[in-house]
Amino acid sequence: MQMISIMSYASLSAIGHQKQEVWNHYLSGKHGFSLTKKKDLVAKINPKSMGLIEQLKASNRKYKHLDPTVLYAISVSNQAFNQTQWDAKDVIGIGIGSSRGATSSFEKYHKNYLDNKKLSALSSPTTTLGNISSWVAHELGCNGPEMSHSVTCSSGLYSVLNACAWIISGMCEKFVVGGSEAPLTPFTIAQMQALGICANDSSKPFPCQSLNLNKKDNSMILGEGAAVICLQKGQVNGALASINGFGYANEVIHHNTSISSDAKCLQQSMKMALMNKDLSDVDVIITHSPGTMKGDLAEVEAIKAVFHNNIPAMTTNKWKLGHTLASSGLLSIELALLMIENQEFIPVPFIENQKFPKRINTILINAVGFGGNAVSILISKSEYHK
């Protein structure tokens, strides 16, 4: 496949927004969870990072009407774009995924309509999914293709897939691509609780037991955040890493929220990403594993089916920053880039017989959404990083 370089990245989550701050949090024994007034466990963006969003909101009077999902996407896109040497006059694509979109604004407008039978003229343009990428393009001054994706929790990695397709086709050589999610609203939290998958024990040192295959209860914790990467065609000097494989697959849905017990969709997406590659070259797998009993186990079974007796070291970040839905895949890519750069593996405290890699050059990242929408992205350390 055509070489695609990762030129920069930026994120915003419960564990911070600055690169060193995020890495230090990964190295610490802390998590980013807190309790709402109703005692629900969530992973909120921390006050310091929210100060950044408030500054952004105050910088443009038009921004005061934008949903947090849009503001988060603008913030991280600005950070990532400013790390590149790109000129906004170039043809640069924007692709941002979001599972829930502008849910905070939508819920607010809907309540106002039910109460007063009136709606603001902004209710439609500020709640459409495409609103996210269009505002990012506006902020960056880009005039290339812009699109937003919603493919449940794999939306962020689907945005990466789509950007790769545009780049390989020759239609656009540069892309700002990522995911943004602000789902910590009463209605969305209630939706997750209705599924019976949320953690309810805040007394545990790590309430989200992602990749703990012996847990007796579901432990997913809903989080908010955004992350983007800047992609460029070819082998580019200064690149942080390269995308050298990707896969995707869907399952026949037996239940709206389920995947098969051995995650056949993930098996197919991983095999596609690893096509014609030596499996022993994969040093680490960053799993999707949301902290649910069935979901975590199904993914591990899928990994066993693909790698057999040579399973790479496995890790995840959801025990740190929760499940950020569409943003989760991009936050996993950030973790991969940080581990490659620092050549240090971030283990999961409750994996039995945790395996550590001998090197960290190639990492496979998984994401899967409701109904079995799976994506796998393979990234490798760049030889051109200077």
Mean pLDDT for 105-133 is 94
Q: Which amino acid makes up residue 56?
A: L
Q: Please give the Cα distance from 279 to 277 (Å, whole number).
A: 6
Predicted local distance difference test score (pLDDT) of residue 256? 58
pLDDT confidence tier of residue 253, bands split at 50, 70 and 90: low
41-43, strands of its sheet edge to edge = 34-35, 41-43, 222-223
For 83-97, write each residue's pLDDT tens digit: 999 999 999 999 999
Give the distance, in angstroms, between the CA of residue 377 and the centroid of all CA atoms in the same chain.
12
Rounded Cα–Cα distance for residues 9 and 294 (Å):
32
- Higher pLDDT: 386 or 318? It is 318
pLDDT at 249 over 60: yes
Position 385 pLDDT exceeds 80: no
Per-residue model confidence (pLDDT) at position 286 = 98
Report the pLDDT value the prediction gives residue 251, as an integer from 0 to 100. 86
Angle between helices 47-58 and 68-82 (to 10 degrees): 90
Residue partners of 196: CB distance under 8 A and separation at least 6: 218
Q: How confident is the model at residue 375 (pLDDT cuts 50, 70, 90)?
A: very high
Scan for tokens 């939706």, then name that residue: 191
Cα separation, 371 vs 373, whole angstroms: 6
What pLDDT, in 10s, does the model give residues 295-353?
Answer: 999 999 999 999 999 999 999 999 999 999 999 999 999 999 999 999 999 999 999 88
Closest CA to 272 of 164, 198, 352, 188: 164
Given a cut of 90, is residue 386 above it in pLDDT? no
- Terminal CA-CA length for the chain: 24
In sequence order, what are the beta bridge partners of 377?
Answer: 246, 365
Q: What is the pLDDT of residue 252?
A: 75
Query: 99 Cβ partners below 8 Å, 6+ apart?
Result: 150, 151, 152, 153, 155, 181, 183, 325, 326, 369
- φ/ψ bin of 36: left (φ > 0), alpha (ψ from -120 to 50), beta (otherwise): beta
Greatest Cα pair distance, the chain, in angstroms, is: 63
Output the average pLDDT for the chain: 95
Average pLDDT over residues 244-268: 85
Mean pLDDT value across residues 348-363: 95
Chain segment 9-37, per-residue pLDDT in tens: 999 999 999 999 999 999 998 999 999 99
For Cα atoms 50, 22, 29, give the angle at the middle one, nearest 5 degrees: 110
pLDDT tens-digit map of 191-240: 999 999 999 999 999 999 999 999 999 999 999 999 999 999 999 999 99
pLDDT value, residue 382: 83
Dihedral sign computed on CA atoms, order 289, 367, 275, 244: negative
The C-alpha atoms of residue 94 and residue 136 are separated, in whole angstroms, by 7
What mean pLDDT is predicted for residues 360-384?
91
The fold adopted by the segment(s) 4-381 is Peroxisomal Thiolase; Chain A, domain 1 (3.40.47)
Question: In this predicted structure, what is the pLDDT of residue 180?
Answer: 98
Yes or no: say if 323 and 222 are a contact pair by the CB < 8 Å rule. Answer: yes
pLDDT at 384 over 60: no
Distance CA 59, CA 69 (A): 17
With a CB cutoff of 8 Å and minimum separation 6, the contacts of 95 are 133, 145, 146, 147, 148, 149, 159, 160, 162, 163, 175, 176, 177, 178
Q: What is the pLDDT of residue 103?
A: 96
Task: Note the pLDDT of residue 269.
Answer: 97
Domain-wise residue ranges, the chain: 4-381
81: pLDDT confidence band, cut at 50, 70 and 90? Answer: very high
pLDDT at res. 206: 93
**Residue among 375, 331, 377, 326 nearest 133 (CA):** 326
Name the token pair of 141. 């001054």
